[in-house]
Amino acid sequence: MQLVEPVVLSPGAESNLAERQRDEVLKCLEPAGRRSVAELSEMSDVDRCKWLFWNIHENLEAVRQMEPALQARINSMQYSVMDEALLVDQAALNKRLDLSCRWTMELSFPGYPEEVTYPIGDGWINLVIASEAPAYLHVATGQKAYLDADHTTYPNQIYLEGWISDHLWQDIRTHLANPNPSCRTDVVLLDSTLFPVRRDFEFVAGPPGAIGVTNIEFRAFSHPTERRMVRRAEPRRPR
């Protein structure tokens, strides 16, 4: 049987293909994405998720004025280790952390003393624990993860695919494994770390329509209803 030679695209052609694929994804999100902020409370989790992704891609500066923060309430944890010494010439451990979670979006509005929280779906956080991003993970240099969503399932699934250092893992592992029901650990993505995977944002990468993430924050709470005192380290932007 004759083998077919793989098609190798030039960087420019590959970029154009990625943009066309991104446009196709955003067309599906557009009806929800163009709805007003006032309608968010009436929308389903699926449509709120679509609203977020579309506006991060197509309306970034305006949506940043609301300082969107994503918070994942962790429901369960799975830690996996595989000895890759049999697969490669040198000894190596493949460590993975998979977290089942419930995602919410927080927006800040003028005149409101606290952020308004909206549920946007369930999902998974899949993290490789390593000294650097593995070659198979589709992220750019300096990028920690990307956020993607599957709207064909019910409830819709939101996925954070990325990596963390072993040093960070050592700091958070006891909090994640804490059996005390009064304690919890959340994953937080602040607005200053979220960027659309699109042309002109080459410092992030990911599937078409995804959101690049440059930093992942873990927050441990001593009580399930405890709220953080400040959302971000830097002061709020003037209105």
pLDDT tens column, 54-111: 999 999 999 999 999 999 999 999 999 987 665 555 557 789 999 999 999 999 988 8
pLDDT at 191: 94
Please state whether 49 falls in left (phi above 0), alpha (psi between -120 and 50) or beta.
Answer: alpha
Amino acid at site 77: M
Counting DSSP H helices and E strands in the chain, the numbers are 4, 9
161 pLDDT higher than 60: yes
- Give the pTM: 0.84
**Exposed (0-12), middle (13-18) or buried (19+): which is 210, by Cβ within 10 Å?**
buried
Kind of pairing between the strands at 157-164 and 184-189: unpaired
38 pLDDT higher than 50: yes
Rounded to a whole number of angstroms, the distance between the first and last alpha carbons of the chain is 67
